[in-house]
Amino acid sequence: MVADPIAVPEPANGKNYTKNEEAINMSNAFIFNIEQQMSGWLVNNIDLTALLDNTVEYQLGMALDAKKTTEFFVYNVAVQGDGDAKHEGLIQAVSSGLSFYPDVPIATTWAYNRAINGFKKWQEDLIEGENNATYNMKSDDIYNLLALMRKNIEVPHAALKAENISEFEVDNLIYRAKGYAESQRVILYNLKAHHYEEIADRGSSDNFDEALRLLDKINEFNPIYCTTLLGHNTRLAALIDNYQLRLADAQKAMDK
């Protein structure tokens, strides 16, 4: 299991990340998100039913977001150009390794281990300079990744704001949304760490900081009992709404 990528390792030389260090750290963020979908425990899992329910919904949210952001990484960042050959391990990761089976955890574990192994093979080949392993994160990629993240998070955001949400489904919607947000929190922390100068030069460091602060608050939003009567869904939706605004500002700045 990779270390929590939110605690991004310092550059080996104490100054700037090498291209390979950036590549390994960024890919570890995707590996971490995949690993988190295979096991876990949540604050409001107060009985066995809640344990099965909320954990699966949280993991499902992470899975839905991570699948799309991982595919973006494989097809846009881990290549030099549109016509370039893709690394076999990464193709394995996205083509057959990112299937989520809520009712069959062992199948999910098998599929996700296959994805993780594909990423790790790419990391090894990148260091050795073999088998079409490459990494090429550009400003346009950051812009497009932020756009994708905004699109992804809108799915659970809209669900939280829907009318007539039943008390039986509100916790599902809340924890699925939190899963989406946690997947994005990991990616955004790494983007900021490895592209800080570029982000700062475009005047967007405050946007990233505020977006991350809001994602931290979403991560900490853990009602013991989720209910529409106390507006838990609308409170979380408001946090996501503010996060989306900051993400939009960050994306706009990267287009300068």
Quote the pLDDT of residue 2. Answer: 52
Q: Note the pLDDT of residue 80.
A: 59
pLDDT digits (tens, 9 = 90+) for 91-134: 888 887 676 666 656 667 778 888 889 999 999 999 998 877 88
- pLDDT at residue 44, as a whole number: 43
| Predicted pLDDT of residue 56 | 80
- Looking at residue 82, its amino acid is D
Whether the Cβ atoms of residue 55 and residue 36 lie closer than 8 Å to each other: no
Angle at 188 between CA 184 and CA 190, to 5 degrees: 125
Span 55-72, pLDDT tens digits: 788 888 988 898 899 999
Q: What is the CA radius of gyration of the chain?
A: 18
pLDDT < 50 positions in the chain: 41-52
H or E element at residue 43: none
CA distance 211 to 241: 11
What pLDDT sits at residue 221?
Answer: 94
Say what the pLDDT of residue 52 is: 47
Report pLDDT for 237.
98
Q: Residue 95 has what pLDDT?
A: 81
**Per the confidence metrics, is the pTM higher than 0.85?**
yes
Q: What is the DSSP string of 211-243?
A: HHHHHHHHHH---SS--GGGTHHHHHHHHHHHH
How many other C-beta atoms can be found within 10 angstroms of the C-beta atom of residue 7?
Answer: 9
Alpha carbons 201 and 139: distance in angstroms, whole number:
12
pLDDT for 33: 83
- Distance, in Å, from the CA atom of 187 to the CA atom of 172, rounded to the nearest integer, reads 23
